[in-house]
Amino acid sequence: MSSKTVLRSLGYERYVIDSKLSYLKPIQTKSHQSFADEISHGLKQEPKSINPKFFYDEKGSELFEKICRLPEYYLTRTEIEILKKLNKDFTEHFSDEIRLIELGSGSSNKTRLLLDILDSFQDKIEYFPIDISEIIKESSKELQEDYDNLHITSIIDTYERGLEFIKNFDSGQNLIAFLGSSFGNFSPAEGLEFLHKINSTMKEGDLFLIGLDLIKEKKILEDAYDDSQGVTAQFNLNVLSRINNELDGDFDLSNFVHHAKYNEEKQRIEMYLRSVEKQSVSIHKANLSLNFEKDELIHTENSYKYSIPQIKQMLHSTNFKIHNIWQDQNQHYVLVLASKLE
């Protein structure tokens, strides 16, 4: 089969920008249909919910970048602090031709620290960012300007479908990075299923680098998801604008407010949008009419926090061998390097 046929059989179209940069996008109608279907499914549940992957339209991705720079959002600067400390104990498992696959790469800012490491011993660097947001078009172009020897294939799709592509790609060594504690959006059962999925994508010699947020004082956690400038509130509310724009909805944003709290028993930050009054909303392209009671909540995100023994248990039970666990000096966050247990 030609590579074009393989791409189409996986549901992708390739857009070549130049010899070092191309994008793979799923065939359009499929992804649009699933946005309407998934929104409709989530908002018919009790309690109503919206999957956090829908936060990231262009505006949502921009707002997330702003969140990363907030003083309260310790996660980004802490992960960067750990990435900057990686050295020989990280690279000792690398072949000369290891390539970087990144799940939920976003702006690819932290990626630069990993690319710098690869750049120090490779003539040609290969990078496959996988992100549901179109932001990767812009971030890939910016990376290309700064790294002459970088070859990028950006996959604009969900983690799962991107991994399916990688699994069918070739036999080269992969470093799969999943940064930003994005894994924390999965429920414990979904998380284990996802780790199995990553493990089954990996070959002997492949590596998995994951950033996870640790359990800590409630105030630090709640401030990180409810900042004093209200940027996280804008980020949360933006998902309603996105539904209005793309699915012809009529949410009145002034009738909803951001709410974030730490659930100690479940070890997770829970984010909601609260309806400030009794109201009705229609989403025409999803054939949906909704009624909200005063104070009714839409659940928009969970962000799980972990202990180190829990992280070890999750990875061991999904067939991973842990090589290293690095922490920041305040023990707020970890980066874990693992490979597939043979």
- Residues forming contacts to ligand SAM in the complex (CB under 6 A) are 53, 56, 61, 64, 68, 76, 104-106, 110, 131-133, 158-159, 179-180, 182
Smallest gap from Cβ 136 to ligand SAM, in A, equals 8
Q: Which residue is nearest to ligand SAM (CB)?
A: 180
Are 159 and 103 in contact by the 8 Å Cβ rule? The answer is: yes
Smallest gap from Cβ 104 to ligand SAM, in A, equals 3
Q: Which is nearer to ligand SAM, 164 or 255 (CB)?
A: 164
Smallest gap from Cβ 70 to ligand SAM, in A, equals 13
Smallest gap from Cβ 292 to ligand SAM, in A, equals 25
Smallest gap from Cβ 72 to ligand SAM, in A, equals 15
3-state secondary structure of 66: helix
Q: Which is nearer to ligand SAM, 131 or 206 (CB)?
A: 131
Q: Which two tokens stand for residue 239?
A: 């998902």
Q: Which two tokens stand for residue 35?
A: 């946005």
Q: What is the DSSP string of 262-295?
A: EETTTTEEEEEEEESS-EEEEEGGGTEEEEE-TT
Smallest gap from Cβ 158 to ligand SAM, in A, equals 4
Q: Which residue in 262, 242, 260 sits closest to 251, CA to CA?
A: 242
Q: Which two tokens stand for residue 329?
A: 């000096």
Q: Which is nearer to ligand SAM, 73 or 272 (CB)?
A: 73
Q: Which two tokens stand for residue 57?
A: 């339209």
Q: Which long-range contacts (CB under 8 A, 24 or more apart) does 30-36 make?
A: 31/157, 35/246, 35/247, 36/247, 36/285, 36/286
Q: Which is nearer to ligand SAM, 130 or 202 (CB)?
A: 130
**Neighbour tally for 163: CB within 10 Å:** 22
Smallest gap from Cβ 76 to ligand SAM, in A, equals 6
Q: Which two tokens stand for residue 5?
A: 């046929």
Q: Which residue has the tokens 């009671």?
A: 293
Q: Which is nearer to ligand SAM, 110 or 305 (CB)?
A: 110
How far apart are the C-alpha atoms of 247 and 2, rounded to whole Å? 36
Q: Which residue has the tokens 């209200």?
A: 230
Q: Which is nearer to ligand SAM, 174 or 182 (CB)?
A: 182
Q: What angle do CA 45, 300, 165 make, to 5 degrees?
A: 95
Q: Which is nearer to ligand SAM, 54 or 256 (CB)?
A: 54
Q: What is the DSSP string of 228-264?
A: TT-HHHHHHHHHHHHHHHHH-B---GGGEEEEEEEET
Smallest gap from Cβ 161 to ligand SAM, in A, equals 8
Q: Which is nearer to ligand SAM, 90 or 225 (CB)?
A: 225
Listed in sequence order, the DSSP H helices in 69-187 are: 74-85, 88-91, 111-119, 135-146, 159-167
Rg (alpha carbons) of the chain, rounded to whole number:
20
Smallest gap from Cβ 68 to ligand SAM, in A, equals 6
